[in-house]
Structure 1
Amino acid sequence: MSKEIIKLDNIDVTFRQKKREITAVKDVSIHINQGDIYGIVGYSGAGKSTLVRVINLLQVPTAGTITIDDDVIFDQGKVTLSPAQLREKRRDIGMIFQHFNLMAQMTAAENVAFALKHSGLSKEEKAEKVNRLLELVGLADRAENYPAQLSGGQKQRVAIARALANDPKILISDESTSALDPRTTKQILALLQELNEKLGLTIVLITHEMQIVKDIANRVAVMQDGRLIEEGSVLEIFSHPKEELTQDFIKTATGIDEALVKIYQQGIVQNLPENSLLVQLKYSGASTDTAIVNDLYKFYQVSSNILYGNIEILDHTPVGEMVLILSGEPGNIHRALEAVTEAHVEVTILKGEQPC
């Protein structure tokens, strides 16, 4: 079993604004294992950035307990470390942000070297480490470029190299791809995944896009109004989302919502033939290996008109979704759907009468 490297227990964060008290985070508990890529998802104002800033005490909570790598750093309303101990602990936690936070007057190499200012390394050792880090993020040839000479993706790579300068065990990514185009976003996510595997880095991703989580995370937490409303493996959450907000995020990430709008506009769906059903099938793992459509006709004489199909790999497990029109004798459709359900495929009838 993996070691829990981050433990946030019963965290509250309350702000006082004039005479008002604002609760940004309310009674949130999250445990993150070493080596996880852990996504925290929520819309603006959900409290996710505030919660994650608690990890390195950039935001001191109002209540709760924080344990980082077996060290309790906050408890009983107090920081338990001395200022020197806290500085040392923060070296284990790197951060990257949406707007890169690079110093414009410094080259890429100088920006990375700045993080090594208090490292105790010699000038030569610093130069060697900076070169190694820039090579790690694919920017060895851009060492002498200034931020203004770099693309958004290149700036983020410099920021990642800088965040890795002190060999952290944890990397926090606060909406770090929000300012990037889709292609560059995928490249940065691939880099983070590579660093996770190569360095054993624990990564905490804050995002308002479930697509980001779907691409690289293995666990996900969903926040709303300062509360944790759902948490689990990416596979569990995508296969069986419980909360309405989570379901909305997933529909957007998979594109099924957009697809259904177009499907309902098709003539064959608006005028569904007699003895037909419009159904949605969701399946994962071994179920994706089954020739579902072929078997429906082979064993039950139920024909299928596929209107939408999608399959993805989530945390090394295939997950699929299909929308189709089933046509056949009502009794045959009933038996076919029973067999599909028994094969651990989730069936939702979108239009038409449930056959008895």
Structure 2
Amino acid sequence: MSETIIQLENIDITFHQKKRVIEAVKDVSVTIKKGDIYGIVGYSGAGKSTLVRVINLLQIPTAGKITIGDQVTYADGRVQLNPAALRQKRQKIGMIFQHFNLMAQKTARQNVAFALRHSDLSKAERRTKVEELLELVGLADRADNYPAQLSGGQKQRVAIARALANDPEILISDESTSALDPKTTKQILALLQDLNRKLGLTVVMITHEMQIVKDICNRVAVMQNGELIEEGSVLEIFSHPKQALTQEFIKTATGIDEAMVKIEKQDIVEDMAANSILAQLKYAGHTTDEPILNDIYKRFEVTANILYGNIEILDDTPVGELVVVLSGQPEALESAQQAIIEAGVELTVLKRGA
């Protein structure tokens, strides 16, 4: 069992603006293990960034308790570290942002070196460290380029190298791929995954895209209106989302919503035969290896016309989804549905033939 590196307990964050009181975060508790890639997902204004900023105390909570590693950093309404200890703690928590926050007048090398300005390393050691970091993020050949000469993905790589300069144990990514195109996003996510493995880095991803969570996270928390509404492993959340918002995020990430619009316009669905049903099948793990549709044809003479299929690997587990038209005699159709459910497949009837 890996050790806990971030423990947020009953965090409240309240802002007072003129005559308004804004409860940005309400009684949120989160446990993040060392080596996790932990996604916090929600729409704008959900409180994600505000919550995550308490990890390095850039945002002081109104109430709650914060433990980073084995050190309590906030409790009983106050910060538990003196300014020097707080500075030291913050050095172990790197941050990357949507808009890179690079200094335009400095080269990639100088931007990374800037993060080492308070370091105890000698000039020569700093130079070596910067070269190693640029090599690590795949930008050794761009060390002397200014931000204006770099693509969005390259700028984000410089920002990641800078965030790693003080050997952090935690890297916070605040919508760091939102300004990037899909191909570059995948490259940056692959880099973060690689750094997580190579350096044992714990990554906290703030995002409004469940696709990103699906691609690299092992755990996910869903936030809405300042509250944490659902939390679990990515496999659990994708297989059995409980909250309406989570279900909405997942439908967008899997593309099933878009597919359903097209499926519903197909003749086979619009003019569905009386002895047919349109069904959605969801399955995970060993079930994906079973020829279930083949089996129900042999046993019940129920045919399956597959209109949509998707299979992915989440946390090393295959997870799949099918939309099918099942056709057969009424009793056989009922028996076939029962057999599918007994095989561990979640079955939802979307439409019945008239």
Q: TM-score, normalised by structure 1?
A: 0.99
Q: Distance in 2 between matches of 1:48 and 1:116?
A: 29
| Amino acid in structure 1 at the alignment position of 2:270 | Q
In the alignment, is the contact (CA less than 8 A) between 2:274 and 2:352 conserved in 1?
no
| Bigger Cα displacement from structure 2, 93-102 vs 329-338 | 329-338
Q: Distance in 1 between matches of 2:32 and 2:353?
A: 45
Once the two structures are superposed, the pairs formed by residues 133-212 of structure 1 within 5 Å of their partners are 133-212=133-212
State the partner residue of 1:62. 62
Q: Distance in 1 between matches of 2:52 and 2:88?
A: 18
Q: Distance in 1 between matches of 2:78 and 2:236?
A: 36
| Amino acid in structure 2 at the alignment position of 1:176 | S
Q: Distance in 1 between matches of 2:331 and 2:191?
A: 52
Once the two structures are superposed, residues 219-259 of structure 1 have per-residue CA deviations (whole angstroms, 9 ceiling, x without a partner) of: 00000000000000000000000000000000000000110
Q: Distance in 1 between matches of 2:88 and 2:353?
A: 65
| Amino acid in structure 2 at the alignment position of 1:300 | F
- Displacement after TM superposition at 1:342 (Å): 1.0
Q: Distance in 1 between matches of 2:51 and 2:295?
A: 49
Gap runs ≥5 in structure 2: none
Q: Distance in 2 between matches of 1:82 and 1:143?
A: 37
Q: When the two structures are aligned, how many residues end up with a matched partner?
A: 354
SS in 2 for 1:203: strand
> Does 2:251 align with 1:251?
yes
Q: Distance in 2 between matches of 1:165 and 1:292?
A: 52
- Displacement after TM superposition at 1:300 (Å): 1.5
SS in 2 for 1:237: helix
Once the two structures are superposed, the pairs formed by residues 35-74 of structure 1 within 5 Å of their partners are 35-74=35-74
State the partner residue of 1:265. 265
In the alignment, is the contact (CA less than 8 A) between 2:273 and 2:353 conserved in 1?
no
Q: Distance in 1 between matches of 2:138 and 2:43?
A: 32
State the partner residue of 2:78. 78
State the partner residue of 1:125. 125
> Does 2:210 align with 1:213?
no
> Does 2:26 align with 1:17?
no
| Amino acid in structure 1 at the alignment position of 2:197 | E
Q: Distance in 2 between matches of 1:68 and 1:320?
A: 37
| Amino acid in structure 2 at the alignment position of 1:200 | G
Q: Distance in 1 between matches of 2:95 and 2:336?
A: 52
- Displacement after TM superposition at 1:197 (Å): 0.5
Gap runs ≥5 in structure 1: none
Q: Distance in 2 between matches of 1:331 and 1:245?
A: 37
Q: Distance in 2 between matches of 1:101 and 1:3?
A: 32
Q: Distance in 2 between matches of 1:47 and 1:185?
A: 23
State the partner residue of 1:342. 342
Q: Distance in 1 between matches of 2:37 and 2:162?
A: 19
- Displacement after TM superposition at 1:274 (Å): 1.8
Once the two structures are superposed, the pairs formed by residues 86-97 of structure 1 within 5 Å of their partners are 86-97=86-97
State the partner residue of 1:277. 277
Q: Distance in 2 between matches of 1:101 and 1:292?
A: 52
In the alignment, is the contact (CA less than 8 A) between 2:296 and 2:339 conserved in 1?
no
State the partner residue of 2:293. 293
Q: Distance in 2 between matches of 1:175 and 1:242?
A: 25
State the partner residue of 1:228. 228
- Displacement after TM superposition at 1:321 (Å): 0.2
In the alignment, is the contact (CA less than 8 A) between 2:308 and 2:322 conserved in 1?
yes
Q: Distance in 2 between matches of 1:30 and 1:157?
A: 28
In the alignment, is the contact (CA less than 8 A) between 2:297 and 2:303 conserved in 1?
yes
| Amino acid in structure 1 at the alignment position of 2:118 | H
State the partner residue of 2:237. 237
> Does 2:318 align with 1:318?
yes
Q: TM-score, normalised by structure 2?
A: 0.99
State the partner residue of 1:103. 103
SS in 2 for 1:176: coil
In the alignment, is the contact (CA less than 8 A) between 2:274 and 2:353 conserved in 1?
no
Identity of aligned pairs, percent?
Answer: 73
| Amino acid in structure 1 at the alignment position of 2:212 | I
In the alignment, is the contact (CA less than 8 A) between 2:293 and 2:304 conserved in 1?
yes
SS in 1 for 2:190: helix
- Displacement after TM superposition at 1:19 (Å): 1.4
Q: Distance in 2 between matches of 1:165 and 1:333?
A: 62
Q: Distance in 2 between matches of 1:73 and 1:231?
A: 24
Q: Distance in 1 between matches of 2:273 and 2:336?
A: 18
Q: Distance in 2 between matches of 1:115 and 1:168?
A: 12
- Displacement after TM superposition at 1:324 (Å): 0.5
- Displacement after TM superposition at 1:353 (Å): 6.7
